[in-house]
Each structure stands twice: as structure tokens, then as C-alpha cells.
């Protein structure tokens, strides 16, 4: 293991320790294939399955949950 990798492992262990204290599971950082382009990338966990370049494209936006729209009247009161 290289010097920089050792620091990352220690940092990951401390992050996972805090996540466990908060009731969250460990981060599972590893190399995965992007589900869209099949390019390998470093994933930050099971939830992270698209590489950064695929996430930055406009076509990724359709997967996102839309924000709630607040409707107001002329006076600005919420309907």
C-alpha cells in the first residue's frame, strides 16, 4: 500500500466509525463499472453506480426526484 493510500484507509475507517455511531452503514468504496457507459470508476458506495461524467450529462436529470413546487396567490400566500 502506498503512503497516500494508507492515509485514505485511515480516513475511511474514521468516517465509517462516525457513520456507525450515527446509525448508518459503512461506506463501501471500490472500483465499479458505470451502469450507463461501462467505464470503471471509484464508487463511494452501493448507491453510487454512475460515473461523474454520466451524472453530469443532461440525460441523467430525468432520474432525479423533482423538487416540490410551492404555489402562491398574488399576495404571496401559500395555497
Higher pLDDT, 5 or 79: 79
76-79 CB contacts, 8 Å cutoff, 24+ apart = none
Task: Convert the pLDDT of each residue in 16-61 to its tens digit.
Answer: 898 899 998 888 788 999 998 999 998 888 888 888 888 887 665 5
Q: Is residue 56 domain-resident?
A: yes
Tell me how many domains the chain contains: 1
Task: Convert the pLDDT of each residue in 52-73 to its tens digit.
Answer: 888 887 665 555 555 667 777 8
Residues of the domain holding 44: 3-63
Note the maximum CA span of the chain. 63
Which whole-number Å values give the CA distances from 56 to 19, 60, 64, 78, 79, in the listed order?
Answer: 27, 7, 12, 33, 35
Q: Is residue 68 domain-resident?
A: no
Task: Report pTM.
Answer: 0.48
Q: Is residue 75 domain-resident?
A: no
User: How much is the pLDDT for 21?
Assistant: 92
Amino acid at each position: 500500500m502506498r503512503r497516500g493510500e494508507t492515509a485514505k484507509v485511515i480516513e475511511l475507517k474514521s468516517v465509517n466509525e462516525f457513520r456507525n455511531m450515527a446509525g448508518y452503514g459503512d461506506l463501501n468504496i471500490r472500483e465499479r463499472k458505470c451502469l450507463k457507459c461501462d467505464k470503471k470508476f471509484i464508487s463511494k458506495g452501493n448507491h453510487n453506480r454512475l460515473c461523474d461524467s454520466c451524472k453530469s450529462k443532461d440525460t441523467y436529470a430525468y432520474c432525479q426526484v423533482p423538487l416540490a413546487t410551492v404555489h402562491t396567490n398574488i399576495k404571496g400566500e401559500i395555497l
